[in-house]
Amino acid sequence: MSEKKVLFVAAEALPYIKSGGLADVVGSLPKELLKLGLDVRVVIPLYKKIAEKNHEELEFVCEYSVNINYVEVPVRLLTSVYEDVRYYFVEHQGYFEREGALYGYQDDGERFAYFQKAVLEMCNQLDYFPNVMHSHDWHTGMIPVMCKENFLHDPRYLNIRHVYTIHNLAYQGNFSKDMLDGCLGLSMHLYDNGNVRFDTGISFMKSGIVYADKVTTVSPTYAQEILTSEYGEHLEHVLQMRAQSLRGIVNGIDVDVWNPKTDATLPHNYNKVNVFKNKKLNKLALQKALGLQEDPDVYVVGLVTRLTGQKGLNLVQQEMGALIAANMQIVVLGSGDADIENDFRAVEAGNKGKFVFYCGYNEDLAHQIYAACDGFLMPSKFEPCGISQLISMHYGTLPIVRETGGLKDTVIPYNQYTKEGTGFSFANFNGWEMVDAVYRALECYYDNPKDYKQLVRNAMATDVSWEHSAKEYKEVYDEFEEWK
């Protein structure tokens, strides 16, 4: 039997570029699928950062063009191999080699229409037709649509099966319906019949959900939640129609990158035997580096996050008084909404030595925070999967989470009777429940250290690798008849 071919199409992938958890997934799941005998490749846009950082290793593959707004726009395709996975990069200086953020531009619709068209034409140019195209999030939602509607007489395209993974339903890629014809080469009929329509425009996310053969999302609980109006982001009815083809599979983490035993960014590496001693040493190093009061015994809670409403930071803002009053230090690493940033700056100014806010994106510091802290707070309003709680557990840092989405699926709350648990949790999205969960964590840490240590051991023993979830993705592919 020949190797089955899977092409991952996404907007970001580690180790090349990352703005959120999507990059972690696209950067680590393919190599795990490779181990299961699949030929997995990945295609992403060539952003400026990649062009600058990786130019020496990128190889030219070919040049061609795609039609955008009735004009032939050139595409340069580059490639590189990382950890046995072949990556392709779609280069267009105007669309992708910009300073600053990866998305959030006026012409995002056109940029990603171009990217998706370039990916489909890449198959023709390389005579490489995967069995499955696995597309991720709104940036790639039109792949199954264009593949099925624009190549009606080409079995090479029609034979491709499509898996579409929702990493975050809140970002939908909604654009003007004028894009259908000129940018995407699709008939206005698809707007009229409702297939790609959202309100008075089109939605890349909805289109992917409607047209993919199978839809997955990144945790079983989120897969249930998005069928409801509370979490469905106005797409719950479309998702309900696809419920038979919808599956939730939790993310793993790349345990080669996230490994406290070998992590080169840590002052003191550790394993499950010396975790308690060395975490304290890491704590002291972090306190020193960030200007916190140096005390290895005080409880330190960390947050490493995008500063947006989704992450429940308004609860932290609301309850700052109660959190500051507690016997603990707080470390926040993140950037995002200006009002949250300003608020945290003000709190830091008034609570030197106890609260520290590092505004920005910093990979090394993130690693050091995961390793140094005792607790990790994620009071999310919704959380499709969440990666930070998995990293925290792996680093022996107990997550304090709201029971939603993947947080509910991956963190086992402390049970003082059975001593089970890998963290602390609360159910309802309100400040007092969050504070109560933080206080329970503190009580356990200070008053019941034996239990606390047991929870740390439980957390570190939890399998957060991709091994299990990669098998679940393979099961999804295996359900295609043609696959067998």
**Which residues participate in the annotated binding site for ADP-alpha-D-glucose?**
18
DSSP state of 369: H
407 in contact with ligand ADP (CB under 6 A): no
Contact between 363 and ligand ADP (CB under 6 A)?
Answer: yes
Choose which of 82, 276, 361, 446 interacts with ligand ADP (CB under 6 A): 361
Kindly indicate which of the ranges 20-28, 29-37, 138-146, 461-469 contains the residues binding ligand ADP, using the contact rule CB under 6 A.
Answer: 20-28
Query: Distance (Å, rounded) from C-alpha 373 to C-alpha 438?
Result: 14
Residue 330 is a binding residue for ligand ADP (CB under 6 A): no
Whole-angstrom Cα Rg for the chain: 23
Euclidean distance between CA atoms 255 and 241, whole angstroms: 36
Q: Interface mask (CB under 6 A) for ligand ADP, residues 332-351, using x and -?
A: -xxx----------------
Whether the CB-CB separation of 467 and 31 falls below 8 Å is answered with no
Q: Give the binding range for ligand ADP (CB under 6 A) out of 74-82, 379-387, 464-472, 474-482.
A: 379-387
For residue 18 the two structure tokens come to 């990352």
Name which of 192 and 363 has its Cβ closer to ligand ADP.
Answer: 363
Q: Does 304 bind ligand ADP (CB under 6 A)?
A: yes
Strands (DSSP E) found in 308-415: 328-336, 355-359, 375-378, 398-402
Q: Which stretch binds ligand ADP (CB under 6 A): 143-151, 196-204, 299-307, 313-321?
A: 299-307
- For residues 334 and 27, what is the distance between their CA atoms, to the nearest angstrom? 21
* Nearest CB to ligand ADP, comparing residues 283 and 394: 394
Q: Mind giving me the DSSP string for 393-408?
A: HHTT-EEEEESSHHHH
Verify binding: residue 10, ligand ADP, rule CB under 6 A: no
Cα 310–chain centre separation = 13
How far the first Cα of the chain sits from its last, in Å, is 9
Closer Cβ to ligand ADP, 161 or 279, answer by number: 279
- Minimum CB distance to ligand ADP smaller for 132 or for 459: 459
Among 78, 366, 393, 401, binds ligand ADP (CB under 6 A): 366
* Buried residues in 214-250 as b, exposed as e (16+ CB within 10 A): bbbbbbbbbbebbbeeebbbebbebbeebeebbbbbb
Q: Which of 45, 252, 386, 413 binds ligand ADP (CB under 6 A)?
A: 386
- Interface residue with ligand ADP among 6, 29, 387, 411 (CB under 6 A) is 387
How many helices (H) and strands (E) the chain has is answered by 21, 18
Q: Which residues bind ligand ADP (CB under 6 A)?
A: 20-21, 24, 304-306, 333-335, 361-363, 366, 385-388
